[in-house]
Amino acid sequence: MNSNIRESKGDRIFLICNYVFLCILLIAVLYPLIYVLSASFSSTKAVTSGRVWLWPVDFSLTAYKEVFNYALIWKGYANSIFYTVVGTLINIALTIMAAYPLSRKDFKGKNLFMLLFVFTMIFNGGLIPTYLLVKDLGMLDTRWALIIPNAMSVFNVIITRTYFKTTIPDELLESAQLDGCTDMKFLTRIVLPLSGPIIAVIALFYAVGHWNEYFDALIYLRDQNLFPLQLILKNILAQSEIDPSMIGDIAMLQSRIGLTELLKYALIVVSSLPVLIIYPFVQRHFVKGVMIGSLKE
- Residue with smaller CB distance to other proteins, 61 or 291: 291
Q: Minimum CB separation from other proteins for residue 171, in Å? A: 18
Instruction: Collect all residues with Cβ–Cβ distance below 8 Å to 266 and sequence separation of at least 6.
Output: 40, 63, 64, 66, 67
Shortest reach from residue 93's CB to other proteins, in Å: 8
Provide the minimum distance between the beta carbon of 61 and other proteins in the complex, in angstroms, as a whole number.
19
Q: Are 203 and 137 in contact (CB under 8 A)?
A: no
Select 130 or 167, whichever has its Cβ closest to other proteins: 130
**Min. distance of Cβ 213 from other proteins in angstroms?**
8
Nearer to other proteins by Cβ, of 167 and 209: the residue is 209
DSSP 7: P
Cβ-contact 201, 284 below 8 angstroms: no
- Tell me the closest approach of the beta carbon of residue 160 to other proteins, in angstroms: 11
Which CB atom, from 130 or from 142, has the smaller least distance to other proteins?
130
Counting runs of H as helices and runs of E as strands, what totals does the chain give?
14, 0
Distance of CA 106 to CAs 102, 103, 167, 170, Å? 9, 9, 17, 11
Which one, 248 or 296, has the nearer CB to other proteins?
Answer: 296
Q: How many CB atoms lie within 10 A of CB 262?
A: 26
Dihedral over Cα of 132, 133, 134, 138: its sign: positive
- Which one, 11 or 78, has the nearer CB to other proteins? 11
Instruction: Report CA dihedral (63, 64, 68, 69) to the nearest 10 degrees.
Output: -30
Q: In angstroms, give the least distance from the CB of 183 to other proteins.
A: 4
